[in-house]
């Protein structure tokens, strides 16, 4: 009998840094560290399991002459059943993670396109770090699959550390995009069905800082290590070129080695280690010091942080006159790393991690797997590692005497050294093998996978419309009302192009209110009517409600709890019943007396309510389910009808329209007195800020994008395309509709967004 073919398809998301399946450039910069190795190894370990058919690691495609061409390959196999899939997002060049935020919506849209075109849809999404969490929330919502998240490092923890070091709050937000990062982390923690951490301390002391702290959804699963790659010395390491490179620095190369291996980062505290070594003649007499701190050609070309760390190390070596006793090679490859541990172990040396804080400490289990005892910081992951393996000593990373004492204790006790080495080998095999990690991982996922629901499907009768390869979606009040002449022109253009495009309206109004205002101003019934801030979808010609969408957004939606929580706040007053709906809780908002939007979001998070909060026109506060928004509803319709997002022109006029406009859609912000809510989008390439208000602004964008011909963002050097003749549009436009003459020029009514 043939064994059942495994069907699980797992998608890992890790957006920033440089990923490839060989010769990882670990330590190249702050974005290419332990997270890169962890995610690669996790993909391989999961793919080896019989209950997993495929693992794809989705990351950003980088086509840049300053890095290897490997990172421009769209798909790379990294083992049987495991691939790196590189997704285009933003500029082609390599960017640090702090500069990726404006491109994450594009990444999410392109990733969804890739997944929709695959032979199967994933059973879950596992995001790594805040930027991938932002993408994962959107993919999980659109696909209806569980989101698993691993933070690796957290923004609130980093902000506290930077503030403590004297960096000003505004500098932190500007340099690190910290507010966006923390907001993304809160949103991710609210949406994730499971958060995987490396240590118990992470859960209690780091995730505990977040409003969406839900320890019952968190599980400690320590990372694994490759026991085939990291193993005790066998003699061959003595002939390795990296050993000759170390010997070039050392007067007595056969002495035991104190090995430190990390990025050149101030938090790794390498300077304190050099000071401890430099101030102890006994330590210098006993062992040599080897510092592996990334790769460099010219110090002057490195970023300022790494440059400062390495400069301090070199100055300290000179201060203590440690030449001949300290090795600090400029280059090493990923293949050299296992050899470095083996060389240190063969010398009966010790590995040290003196970091100020260490979330986990992957290098510690690599050293242990190589038969090398460890000395490590008493903060973070090393506590668990040494607790499990009994293979080293914890130290205060700021106490030089404590560091020196621990190093000498390991180095000068031969029988103790052998016991620590043996304990480490046994402990790693028991607790930190990748096979053990993958087993615990799948056990934790099993309850989630049993609940996976198939993604929602639109009514079959309203699937793809023949020949319709593009669509216009617009808000109602701020875009179509206010100028009867331009509205009449817009309606005429729609009719002339009825055979090639779909017309959609996305509004904050309820269905009855939207229909009434459309009737009043002679706006033809659209092919798609998205109402109540994306919580309801209706299709022409008979306003057929999409029940699949309704079931999809009902996930973890508790409107009564939302209402009860917010109704007690000052400056927050419920809107009339006519503006409430099953999936929209609406309030009037008085900014002078009410808490800030961030504070309201924090209250909702603390109550374990994962929702979307919208403030429109400075006075209308609406709360909807996490899976509902104008942008998510638009993407759902476009996907069901086979319309590329790149062919969707979205017209917005307030903050509630923002997620329609980010990502791969073409977009226009019409000129009105509320578009300051969208001013932060002004530098986004595919968002056009029109000079004209209302429908005239949409017509301006149609010309700008040459929507009924080229349908693309014009080259930067070119002026907007001149108006062209337009042909063909939607079959559901009422032939007797015309623009109304009595146009209401006041602000939108309650609930419109």
* Judgement on whether residues 166 and 258 belong to the same structural domain of the protein: no
Share of the chain above pLDDT 90, in %: 65
DSSP assigned state of 719? P
Q: 272 near 395, Cβ under 8 Å?
A: no
pLDDT digits (tens, 9 = 90+) for 592-619: 999 998 899 889 988 888 898 988 878 8
Give the residue among 157, 154, 143 at the shortest CA–CA distance from 191: 143
* Judgement on whether residues 256 and 346 belong to the same structural domain of the protein: yes
Other CB atoms within 10 A of residue 644 CB: 16
Q: What is the DSSP string of 648-694?
A: EEEEE-SGGGHHHHSTTSEEEE--STTGGGGGGGTT-TTEEE-SS-H
User: What's the pTM?
Assistant: 0.79
Q: Is the peptide bond before 294 cis (omega within 30 degrees of 0)?
A: no
As a whole number of angstroms, the distance between CA 364 and CA 376 comes to: 8
* Judgement on whether residues 87 and 173 belong to the same structural domain of the protein: yes
| Single residue among 664, 688, 704 that ends a domain in this structure | 704
Residue 404 is assigned to a structural domain of this protein: yes
Band of pLDDT at residue 738, cut at 50, 70 and 90: very low
The CATH number linked to 655 is 3.40.50.1000
Residue 37 is assigned to a structural domain of this protein: yes
CB burial of 270-297 (b: ≥16 within 10 Å; e: otherwise) equals bbbbbbbbbebeebbebbbbbbbbbbbe
Locate all alpha helices (DSSP H) within 231-335, ordered by sequence: 241-247, 270-278, 281-286, 304-319
Cα 63 from chain centroid (whole Å): 20
User: Is pLDDT at 720 greater than 90 in this prediction?
Assistant: no
Number of domains in the chain: 3
Residues spanned by the domain of 75: 8-220
Q: What is the pLDDT of residue 676?
A: 66
Give the residue among 701, 723, 601, 721 at the shortest CA–CA distance from 653: 701
Q: 689 near 713, Cβ under 8 Å?
A: no
As a whole number of angstroms, the distance between CA 98 and CA 174 comes to: 9
Q: 30 near 18, Cβ under 8 Å?
A: no
Give me 685's structure tokens.
């390439």
pLDDT digits (tens, 9 = 90+) for 546-560: 999 999 999 889 999
Residue 672 is assigned to a structural domain of this protein: yes
pLDDT digits (tens, 9 = 90+) for 37-95: 899 999 999 999 999 999 999 999 999 999 999 999 999 999 999 999 999 999 999 99
pLDDT digits (tens, 9 = 90+) for 450-468: 876 666 665 544 444 545 7
As a whole number of angstroms, the distance between CA 51 and CA 6 comes to: 5
Give me 347's structure tokens.
């010398």
pLDDT digits (tens, 9 = 90+) for 637-656: 998 888 999 999 999 877 77
* Judgement on whether residues 250 and 192 belong to the same structural domain of the protein: no
628 φψ region: left (φ > 0), alpha (ψ -120 to 50), beta (else): beta
The CATH number linked to 345 is 3.40.50.2000
* Judgement on whether residues 333 and 421 belong to the same structural domain of the protein: yes
Please list, in sequence order, all residues whose beta carbon lies within 8 angstroms of the beta carbon of residue 145, skipping any fewer than 6 positions away.
121, 122, 123, 124, 125, 452, 455
Residue 618 is assigned to a structural domain of this protein: no
User: Is pLDDT at 28 greater than 80 in this prediction?
Assistant: yes
Q: Please, what sign has the CA dihedral across residues 511, 516, 520, 524?
A: positive
* Judgement on whether residues 484 and 411 belong to the same structural domain of the protein: no
Residue 579 is assigned to a structural domain of this protein: no
Mean pLDDT of the residues in the chain: 88
CA-based diameter of the chain, in Å?
A: 96
Please list, in sequence order, all residues whose beta carbon lies within 8 angstroms of the beta carbon of residue 405, skipping any fewer than 6 positions away.
none
User: Is pLDDT at 732 greater than 50 in this prediction?
Assistant: no
Give the residue among 662, 668, 687 at the shortest CA–CA distance from 108: 662
Residue 748 is assigned to a structural domain of this protein: no
Q: 631 near 660, Cβ under 8 Å?
A: yes
């Amino acid at each position: 009998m043939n064994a059942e073919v495994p069907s699980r398809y797992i998608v890992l998301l890790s957006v920033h840094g440089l990923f490839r399946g060989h010769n990882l450039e670990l330590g190249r910069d702050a974005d290419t560290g332990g997270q890169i190795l962890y995610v690669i190894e996790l993909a391989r370990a999961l793919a080896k399991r019989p209950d997993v058919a495929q693992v794809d690691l989705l990351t950003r495609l980088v086509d840049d002459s300053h890095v290897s061409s490997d990172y421009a390959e769209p798909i790379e196999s990294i083992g049987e059943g495991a691939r790196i899939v590189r997704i285009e997002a933003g500029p082609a060049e390599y960017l640090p993670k702090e500069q990726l935020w404006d491109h994450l919506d594009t990444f999410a849209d392109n990733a969804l396109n890739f997944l929709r075109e695959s032979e199967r849809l994933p059973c879950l999404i596992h995001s790594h770090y805040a930027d991938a969490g932002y993408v994962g929330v959107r993919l999980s919502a659109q696909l209806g699959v569980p989101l698993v998240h691993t933070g690796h490092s957290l923004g609130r923890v980093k902000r506290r550390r930077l503030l403590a070091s004297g960096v000003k709050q505004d500098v932190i937000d500007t340099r690190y995009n910290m507010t966006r990062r923390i907001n993304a982390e809160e949103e991710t923690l609210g949406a994730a069905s499971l958060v995987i951490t490396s240590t118990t301390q992470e859960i209690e002391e780091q995730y505990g800082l977040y409003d969406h702290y839900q320890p019952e959804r968190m599980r400690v699963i320590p990372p694994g290590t490759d026991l085939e790659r990291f193993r005790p010395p066998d003699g061959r390491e003595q002939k390795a070129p990296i050993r000759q490179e170390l010997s070039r620095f050392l007067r007595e190369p056969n002495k035991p080695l104190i090995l430190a291996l990390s990025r050149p980062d101030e938090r790794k505290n390498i300077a304190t280690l050099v000071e401890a070594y430099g101030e102890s003649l006994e330590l210098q007499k006993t062992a040599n010091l080897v510092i592996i701190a990334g790769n460099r050609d010219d110090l002057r070309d490195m970023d300022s942080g790494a440059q400062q760390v390495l400069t301090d190390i070199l100055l300290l070596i000179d201060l203590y006159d440690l030449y001949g006793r300290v090795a600090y090679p400029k280059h090493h490859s990923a293949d050299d790393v296992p050899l470095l541990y083996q060389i240190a172990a063969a010398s009966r040396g010790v590995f040290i991690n003196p970091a100020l804080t260490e979330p986990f400490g992957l290098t510690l289990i690599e050293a242990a797997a190589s038969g090398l005892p460890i000395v490590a910081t008493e903060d973070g992951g090393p506590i668990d590692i040494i607790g499990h393996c009994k293979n080293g000593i914890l130290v205060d990373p700021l106490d030089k005497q404590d560091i020196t004492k621990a190093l000498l204790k390991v180095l000068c006790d031969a029988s103790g050294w052998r016991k620590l080495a043996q304990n480490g080998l046994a402990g790693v095999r028991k607790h930190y093998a990748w096979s053990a990690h993958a087993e615990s991982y799948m056990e934790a996922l099993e309850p989630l996978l049993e609940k996976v629901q198939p993604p929602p499907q639109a009514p079959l009768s309203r699937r793809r419309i023949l020949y319709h390869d593009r669509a216009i979606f617009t808000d109602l009040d701020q875009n179509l009302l206010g100028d009867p002449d331009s509205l009449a022109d817009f309606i005429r253009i729609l009719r002339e192009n009825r055979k090639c495009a779909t017309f959609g309206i996305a509004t904050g109004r309820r269905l009855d209110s939207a229909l009434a205002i459309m009737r009043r101003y002679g706006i033809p019934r659209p092919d798609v009517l998205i109402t109540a801030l994306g919580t309801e979808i209706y299709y022409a010609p008979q306003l057929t409600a999409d029940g699949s969408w309704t079931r999809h957004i009902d996930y973890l939606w508790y409107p009564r709890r939302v209402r009860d929580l917010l109704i007690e706040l000052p400056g927050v007053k419920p809107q009339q019943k006519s503006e409430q709906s099953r999936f929209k809780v609406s309030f009037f908002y008085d900014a002078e007396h009410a808490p800030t939007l961030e504070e309201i979001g924090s209250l909702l998070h603390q109550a374990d309510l994962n929702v979307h909060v919208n403030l429109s026109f400075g006075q209308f506060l609406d709360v909807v389910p996490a899976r509902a928004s104008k942008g998510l509803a638009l993407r759902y319709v476009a996907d069901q009808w086979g319309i590329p997002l790149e062919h969707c022109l979205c017209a917005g006029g307030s903050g509630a329209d923002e997620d329609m406009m980010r990502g791969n859609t073409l977009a226009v912000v019409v000129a009105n007195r509320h578009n300051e809510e969208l001013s932060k989008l002004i530098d986004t390439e595919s968002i056009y800020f029109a000079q004209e208000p209302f429908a005239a602004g949409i017509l301006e964008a149609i010309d700008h994008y040459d929507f009924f011909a080229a349908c693309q963002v014009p080259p930067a050097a070119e002026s907007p395309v001149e108006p062209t003749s337009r042909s063909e549009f939607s079959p559901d436009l009422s032939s007797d509709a015309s623009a109304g003459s009595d146009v209401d020029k006041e602000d939108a009514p309650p609930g419109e967004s």
